[in-house]
């Protein structure tokens, strides 16, 4: 009687864990891309404006 409930709970837990890990991966990817773009823009324009 308890086995389907634990199976369902494990399925829901794994689904939540998978969703959380994908969301975390997406957030990390967005943060990393924004960081790389910001560093590139800072180096390109910061150096060109620094020569004035």
**CA distances to 4, 9, 12, 16, 26 from 1, in Å:** 7, 14, 18, 24, 39
Two tokens, residue 49: 């404006």
User: pLDDT value at position 12?
Assistant: 92
For residue 38, the enclosing domain spans 21-52
Whether residue 52 is contained in a domain is answered as yes
Per the confidence metrics, is the pTM higher than 0.85?
A: no
Based on the structure, what is the number of domains in the chain?
1
12, part of any domain: no
In a domain, 4, yes or no: no
Is 47 part of a structural domain of the chain? yes
Residue 28 resides in a domain: yes
The answer to whether residue 25 sits within a structural domain is yes
Express as a percent the part of the chain with pLDDT over 90.
Answer: 44
Per-residue pLDDT at 32 exceeds 90: yes
The answer to whether residue 15 is domain-embedded is no
Any domain includes 38: yes
| pLDDT (average), residues 22-48 | 89
């Amino acid at each position: 009687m308890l086995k389907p409930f634990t199976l369902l709970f494990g399925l829901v837990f794994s689904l939540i864990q998978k969703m959380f890990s994908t969301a975390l991966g997406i957030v990390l990817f967005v943060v990393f891309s924004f960081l790389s773009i910001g560093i590139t823009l800072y180096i390109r324009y910061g150096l060109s404006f620094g020569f004035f």
